[in-house]
Amino acid sequence: MSFIFVAHDTPEPSLYAAMAAILAALKHIPLAHLPVSWDIARYPDACQHIIGEGQLMTSGLLWTERMNPQSAGKIMELGDLLNTYGTQDVVIPLGPMQIIQFTQIARQVRDNALDYELVTVERANQGYAFNRHGHTDETSGCWWRDRYGRWINQNMPPQTGPSLRIALVGTQSDQCSIYPATLAALGDAADALSLSLDMVYAAPQALEDHLHEVMENVDGILLPGGSAMCNVTGQTCAAHYALNRNIPVLGLCLGMQIMTTAIVQKMLGSTKANLAEADPDAEIKTFVPLTDTPTFPVHRLGDHQMHCRPGSRLNDILGDECTVRYNHLFHLEPELKPDLEKYGLCISGTDISGKIADGIEFTHHPFYLGVQGHPELSSLRVKPHPLLVAFLKAAGSQRR
């Protein structure tokens, strides 16, 4: 029995554990992981991957779940990990700080009378390969990321179908190097529809002054989640752009909150409405802390059921009920709901109590739909999430 440590010395959170996940999949053995830290000032969404059991962890652990469709598992201290996996082979990724500490890690493994191997990740051709004892491991091959950030070890034939111009509201660095799930899920949906996507990475802060230039000729807009409140103004501009031009738009988590806020602003004819998280002094707060409402949870984290309203577009796509992964502390201000429903905003998804808005759609728009959860985390290359597929279908139908 052996602990196989995979050291990848990179500051990119999206690369953490990626090659380790590949090795675990090749060997058909589990992957376990230790606490790891990142420069949150530089990478605010470094730890935004959510496992179904309800824990936030490094975004690169997405690849573990995509390579082996099962939970990445909870973060474990080394002692617990040794006790749990001491009788079987296991792959353990090492981030930059863990590599520095590896002498102490190795000593603790030996003190428990366990064997270990250190495999390093090295640059090779256009991608990455494993290095064992100073030699490249040719048997495992070279791995690299495709145009949607997904890991491959052979060139894939280009899509020959129609091309869509899709704006993903976020910087390319955010979507590729920090939180790769949204782009990967778009790629899954595009493959299923035999589409090629011309991606436009719309940096939110640039949209405040250059909205029309950046969004020119886009077929669809995706508003992703995220924790950086400095992006909210630009994201709201993108939501209004989609509203005013009938461009299909999908919102995920924060994206749904932004889309709803844009409807509130349009309904009231005022920009004084905003998220409490982004502007605590806003005259009208559209999304407020869950803790403001008695009986509501403090933090909804992990897999929960969403009920979809009969007759809604969301119900057509997902059915009456589905499991969605959540990470949120805020919810739609209840006092706004009656007026919003009259204005045409359908609360098409709720939690099991029926009180928390988990999905919205605007009935006066061809495709203006958002969900409070993270469907991108449930997408696989062989099984794209139906919400992403529906979004691309809508974008394609508008073009025709």
Q: What is the pLDDT of residue 4?
A: 96
- In degrees and rounded to multiples of 5, residue 393 shows phi and psi of -60, -45
- Cβ within 8 Å of residue 98, ≥6 positions away: 7, 34, 36, 105
Tokens 């909804």: give the residue: 300
How far is C-alpha 90 from the geometric centre of its chain's CA atoms? 26
Is residue 184 left, alpha or beta, with left meaning phi > 0 and alpha meaning psi from -120 to 50? alpha
Is the separation of the CB atoms in 165 and 200 below 8 Å?
yes
Residue 329 CA to residue 292 CA, distance in Å, equals 10
- In degrees and rounded to multiples of 5, residue 241 shows phi and psi of -60, -45
Q: What is the pLDDT of residue 212?
A: 92
Residue 362 CA to residue 368 CA, distance in Å, equals 6
Q: What is the pTM of this model?
A: 0.95
Residue 315 CA to residue 188 CA, distance in Å, equals 21
Residue 250 CA to residue 369 CA, distance in Å, equals 5
Cα separation of the two ends of the chain: 58
User: Which run of H or E residues covers position 118?
Assistant: strand 115-124
How do beta strands 2-7 and 90-94 pair? parallel
Q: What is the pLDDT of residue 312?
A: 98
User: Superfamily assignment of 160-398 in CATH?
Assistant: Class I glutamine amidotransferase (GATase) domain (3.40.50.880)
Q: What is the pLDDT of residue 158?
A: 72
Q: What is the pLDDT of residue 399?
A: 65
Residues of the chain with pLDDT under 70: 1, 160, 399-400
The CA–CA distances, whole Å, from 169 to 14, 42, 74, 310, 341 equal 18, 18, 30, 30, 27
Tokens 């998280």: give the residue: 277
The structural domains of the chain, with segments of one domain joined by +, span: 2-145, 160-398
Is the separation of the CB atoms in 175 and 201 below 8 Å?
yes
Length of the chain: 400
Q: What is the pLDDT of residue 294?
A: 87
